[in-house]
């Protein structure tokens, strides 16, 4: 969104934000309901700055603008907006409050949590009437300041110029926290641990490449703050889903040297990291939060959009007194019916793509971005714009396809080229391998195998719609068993109940629908414990979960640390735990080292076998004349599944054959036994060539294949009967 100023002749458009020119800066701010907006140039101490105010002209089409001479890069600044204080009508203008430019390329200083940062009068306990009187205390010394950054000629190589452009069919996503991934890494120098630069250290890059991932997805790195209730408890918002600035990198993740040098150096460090990861062949995806901001609900702080134009930026219910619409569970939701909100989002995406060079985005609570007056729309302006913008062309766009508002669950309903987090995959895998066996151990029924089978084959029921049908393919399904939000994989097999006491909310926070199984004992077990015999089964369950994730059709997403058994001690909502609860541990006990070896082995199987990486949905028919069917399902007796078997809840064992057409001619057989007893399985007999055993989840380490080779079980002809251990799976291949 831009604004044109006419002064006898038309001049070039002002881009929104503060942009460096040859003579100073151009400024443009969207604030349609304001009566005046000022650019405030700040000098002196952060907590007691001096201030020069420059009035902006306007508004024209809701935009306030100015060209300000003699302002150079490094200048601190903020905004002040004047207008009516009529909170019952959504108008909350308070010029006593210095506002953060949502377009600021850099921020310095910390957000305070005292009464100064509120637009309405509150006491020392921060309680007050949000519809009451306007607070007249100046907030300039209590809020972050924007910093002018010249992005026209940034130092270092262009990180957008060496993108790996990994195709979806070969993509494996690794979700990680910028600080938590490296904070405890012994091979990363102390000054780099927990930083952007630490992500590109050879020890980290070697781990990611050795594991077999292709894309590093970072939890939010847009500048964010902590919520006041966390600050009061001595906690912080660790995950970062509380955005303050949509263009500024979160400065706390930069090295001390970069922070001392200022926001331009912070940006340079991040760009250098993205470039280095690209050089290693790794893409960088960002988890982005455009659905809400850090300002919270009506009683919340007054630091940016609320002061610029509360009635414009935030969705309201249309009633009097005005109440915010909250479809995000955070107190506020941005109003994507507004052109300026869509523009802010697209401008931010373009900036991170063009200037920082990232390779894609995961959109938090993406349904909010597609909400209009009549609810969610697949043809919403935001979604269409992102899908068609040339700056984003070819980048990976991933929706979290839900929010907490009415009709908020929309998995499978986003338009191409969006991919989506597949929560149905998560639930099916957890239920089959954990919740169902836990129920069976008590004589209770579980789910039928057809749900897991549907997820293994790419979730065509969710992603096969559209015009034309099936065009999105399995790549649209971002499969996951765990994510930052919830139990880790190791905790899924050790806890049936959340243990979130450290969060200070009396264990009320976090999901109760975990579909986990502690295998009989809650929490960790020691070697000398009477329950020590369940530890091997727990480890096997982790291997089953990981293998199902990696070997399913679709795009797998691994949560950082799951490949080596990371635990959060049963905390399934560690959003406020910036400590060892959340940080990845690198001191590997033998079983954790074995889990890492297994993860590497499974990802290598996915990489080396095209049958596991289909780009199109399976049809169950040959893809070439006289060729094998691309997908087949068989029972333990080797006979094809029929309608009755799919609906028989007692069946917990099946075989899945997947074939890749020429020139690959690759064939893979998955044998799955979800029963509590061993089962004799007659291997599928569809070819004269023998099956070669590539992996068995019974193995504690992939090296156990050597034992199988010695006993003659490595190569088995079709129609051979072999015993599959309880709660286990095998992978056979035909080279």
| Distance, CA of 358 to CA of 366 (rounded, Å) | 19
Quick check: 302 and 118 in contact, CB under 8 A?
yes
For residue 245, give Cα distances in angstroms to 195, 220, 262, 278, 558: 19, 11, 16, 25, 28
Length of the chain: 735
Cα gap 272→644, rounded to integer Å = 58
> Structure tokens of 153?
């000629």
Beta strands in 326-452 (DSSP E): 360-363, 371-372, 375-376, 396-399, 419-422
Three-state DSSP class for 683? coil
Q: Distance between CA atoms of 649 and 656, rounded to whole angstroms?
A: 18
Residues linked to residue 40 through DSSP beta bridges, in sequence order: 53, 78
Number of H helices, E strands in the chain: 18, 33
In sequence order, what DSSP letters do the residues of 548-589 get, joined into one string? Answer: HHHHSSSEEEEETTGGGT---TT-S--TT--STTTSPP----
Residue 469, phi then psi, degrees to nearest 5 = -70, 155
Looking up tokens 């630091």 gives: 303
Spatial distance between the Cα atoms of 435 and 493, rounded to a whole number of angstroms: 10
Using CB atoms within 10 A of its CB, is residue 710 exposed (0-12), middle (13-18) or buried (19+)? Answer: exposed
**The one catalytic residue among 175, 364, 491, 696:** 364
Give the dihedral sign, CA 330/336/339/345. Answer: positive
β-pairing, 691-696 vs 715-716, is: antiparallel
Q: Rounded to whole angstroms, how far apart are CA atoms 2 and 62? A: 10
Nearest to 300 by CA among 111, 509, 137: 111
Q: Which of 217, 400, 420, 436 is catalytic?
A: 400
Tokens of 33: 């309901």
Contact present, 394 and 357 (Cβ < 8 Å): no
Clarify whether 400 is annotated catalytic: yes
SS (H, E, C) 156-216: CCCCCCCCCCCCHHHCCEEEECHHHHHCCCCCCCHHHCCCHHHHCCHHHHHHHHHHCCCEE
Catalytic residue status for 206: no
Which residues are tagged catalytic?
Answer: 364, 400
């Amino acid at each position: 969104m831009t604004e044109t100023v006419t002064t006898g002749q038309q001049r070039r458009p002002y881009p929104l934000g503060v942009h460096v020119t040859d003579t100073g800066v151009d400024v443009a701010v969207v604030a349609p309901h304001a009566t005046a907006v000022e650019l405030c140039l700040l000098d002196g101490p952060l907590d007691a700055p001096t201030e020069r105010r420059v009035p902006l002209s306007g508004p024209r089409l809701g935009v306030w603008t100015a060209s300000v001479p003699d302002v150079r890069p490094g200048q601190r600044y903020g905004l002040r907006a004047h207008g009516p204080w009529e909170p019952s009508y959504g108008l909350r203008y308070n010029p006593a409050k210095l506002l953060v430019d949502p377009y600021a390329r850099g921020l310095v200083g910390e957000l305070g949590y005292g009464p100064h940062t509120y637009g309405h009068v509150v006491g020392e306990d921060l309680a007050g009437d949000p519809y009451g009187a306007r607070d007249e205390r100046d907030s300039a010394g209590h809020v972050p300041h924007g910093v002018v950054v010249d992005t026209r000629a940034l130092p270092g190589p262009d990180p957008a110029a060496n993108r790996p452009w990994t195709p979806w069919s070969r993509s494996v996503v690794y979700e990680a926290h910028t600080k938590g991934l490296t904070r405890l890494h012994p091979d990363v120098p102390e000054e780099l641990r927990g930083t952007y630069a630490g992500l590109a250290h050879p020890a980290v890059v070697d781990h990611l490449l050795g594991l077999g991932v292709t894309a590093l997805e970072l939890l939010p790195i847009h500048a964010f703050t902590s919520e006041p209730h966390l600050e009061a408890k001595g906690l912080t918002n660790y995950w970062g889903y509380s955005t303050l600035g949509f263009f500024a990198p979160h400065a706390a993740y930069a090295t001390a040297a970069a922070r001392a040098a200022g926001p331009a150096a912070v940006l340079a460090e991040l760009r250098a990291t993205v470039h280095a990861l690209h050089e290693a062949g790794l893409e960088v995806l960002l988890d982005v939060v455009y659905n809400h901001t850090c300002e919270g609900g009506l009683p919340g702080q007054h630091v940016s959009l609320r002061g610029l134009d509360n009635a414009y930026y935030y969705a309201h219910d249309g009633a009097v007194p005005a109440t915010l619409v909250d479809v995000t569970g955070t107190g506020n939701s941005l109003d994507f019916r507004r052109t300026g909100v869509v523009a802010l989002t697209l401008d931010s995406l373009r900036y991170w793509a063009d200037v920082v060079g990232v390779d894609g985005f995961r959109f938090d609570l993406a349904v909010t971005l597609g909400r209009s007056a009549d609810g969610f729309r697949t043809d919403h302006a935001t979604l269409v714009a992102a899908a068609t913008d040339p700056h984003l062309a070819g980048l990976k766009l991933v929706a979290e396809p839900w929010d907490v508002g009415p009709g908020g669950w929309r998995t499978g309903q986003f338009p191409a080229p969006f991919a989506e987090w597949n929560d149905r995959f998560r639930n099916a895998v957890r239920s089959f391998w954990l919740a169902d066996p836990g129920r069976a151990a008590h004589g209770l029924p579980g789910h039928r195998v057809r749900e897991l089978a549907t997820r293994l084959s790419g979730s065509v029921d969710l992603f096969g719609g559209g015009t034309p049908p099936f065009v999105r393919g399995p790549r649209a399904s971002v499969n996951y068993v765990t994510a930052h939000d919830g139990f880790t994989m190791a905790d899924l097999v050790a806890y049936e109940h959340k243990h979130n006491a450290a969060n200070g909310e009396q264990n009320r926070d976090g999901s109760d629908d975990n579909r986990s199984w502690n295998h009989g004992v809650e929490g960790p077990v020691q070697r000398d414990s009477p329950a020590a015999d369940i530890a091997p089964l727990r480890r096997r369950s982790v291997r089953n979960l990981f293998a199902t994730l990696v070997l399913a059709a679709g795009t797998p997403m691994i949560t950082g640390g799951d490949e080596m058994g990371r635990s959060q001690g049963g905390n399934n909502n560690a959003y406020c735990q910036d400590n060892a609860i959340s940080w990845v541990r690198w001191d590997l006990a033998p079983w954790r080292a074995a889990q890492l070896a297994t993860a590497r082995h499974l990802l290598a199987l996915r990489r080396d076998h095209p049958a596991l990486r289909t780009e199109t949905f399976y049809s169950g028919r040959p893809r070439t004349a006289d060729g094998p069917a691309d997908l087949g399902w068989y029972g333990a007796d080797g006979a094809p599944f029929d309608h009755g078997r799919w609906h028989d809840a007692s069946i917990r064992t099946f075989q899945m054959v997947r074939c890749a057409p020429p020139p690959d001619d690759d064939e893979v057989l998955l044998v799955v036994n979800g029963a509590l007893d061993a089962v004799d399985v007659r291997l599928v007999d569809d070819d004269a060539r023998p099956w070669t055993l590539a992996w068995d989840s019974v193995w504690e380490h992939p090296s156990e294949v050597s034992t199988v080779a010695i006993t003659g079980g490595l190569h088995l002809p079709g129609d051979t009967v072999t015993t599959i251990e309880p709660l286990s799976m095998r992978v056979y291949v035909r080279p």
